[in-house]
Amino acid sequence: MRLDPHVADGIHRVEDAHTNWFIVEEDGRLTIVDAGVPTSWSSLEAALDVIGRRAGDIEAVVLTHAHFDHIGIAERIRSRLGAEVWVHENDVPLTRHPLQYARDRSPLVYAATNPRALPILGDLLLSRAFFPSPIAAVRRFTNGTVGVPGSPRVLLTPGHTLGHVAFHFPERDAVIAGDAVVTLNPYTGGTGPQIVARAATADPARNLDSLGAIAETEARTVLPGHGEPWHDGAAAIVEQARAVGPT
């Protein structure tokens, strides 16, 4: 587990198995954005201790998308703490069947040709990332602002999944981008701004096009679902990801 407190104002980054998830504070109340991997519960407890909060302060989990490596402890938070889990309506089926996702190319192609990605795969296996608990009940949203602590503004960024979104926090000058754009590609081991490989992206062309919603925020900080935080502006990360193109 790696914890970066205040990677943006009141936003804390937690990384487990090369996957980022975030704790957002507002007046002592907490929202979890994405939910890591199944072993992230111990990371949650450790992170709360560092930032001086309690599990009971968690009021909601909001998901950028419902892939297996982003819903790890969502059901545990919902069932144990009573926090609601919010997801875009087009990703609701994935919350029940997180391994049944659309992809543009077989993952086997990447496993055979990208040795730099093997340690990432190994860490995902050790964290039981491929075996998250389905989420028994969710709240649906489409656009607008989600009514949870931090009041994230929904940015529609479909392509990685059909219901993928990013979350803009205007007063914090930050966007949590999920896997719309990343700085570490788990399937190739490549670093720097890019979209996730075709092995886990339903529609790469749509993904690249939808990044315009992130660029338009002009936020200074972009927090991807994989890789290091980006502090050089939303327009720059989108420009570089589009220059790389699909992988």
Per-residue pLDDT tens digits for 60-116 = 999 999 999 999 999 999 999 999 999 999 999 999 998 888 888 777 777 667 888
What are 41-56's pLDDT values in tens digits? 999 999 999 999 999 9
pLDDT for the residue 112: 62
Phi, psi of 136 (to 5 degrees): -75, -30
Check whether 144 has a pLDDT greater than 80: yes
Give the model confidence (pLDDT) of 171-192 as tens digits.
999 999 999 999 999 999 999 9
CA distances for 87 relative to 148, 157, 190, angstroms: 12, 13, 28
Q: How far is CA 131 from the centre of its chain?
A: 17
Q: Where are the domains of the chain?
A: 2-244
Q: Answer whether 110's CB lies under 8 Å from 177's CB.
A: no
Q: pLDDT by residue (tens digit) across 209-244?
A: 999 999 999 999 999 999 999 999 999 999 999 999
Task: Report the range of poorest mean pLDDT among 102-116, 123-137, 147-161.
Answer: 102-116
Of residues 27 and 118, the one with the higher pLDDT is 27
Average pLDDT over residues 125-153: 96
Instruction: Taking residues 1-14, report their average pLDDT.
Output: 97
pLDDT of residue 111: 63
CB contact at 8 A, 231 and 172: no
* Euclidean distance between CA atoms 213 and 71, whole angstroms: 24
As a whole number of angstroms, the distance between CA 105 and CA 94 comes to: 19
Under 8 Å between Cβ of 2 and 209? no
Domain 2-244 has CATH 3.60.15.10: yes
pLDDT of residue 105: 79
pLDDT of 64 reads 98
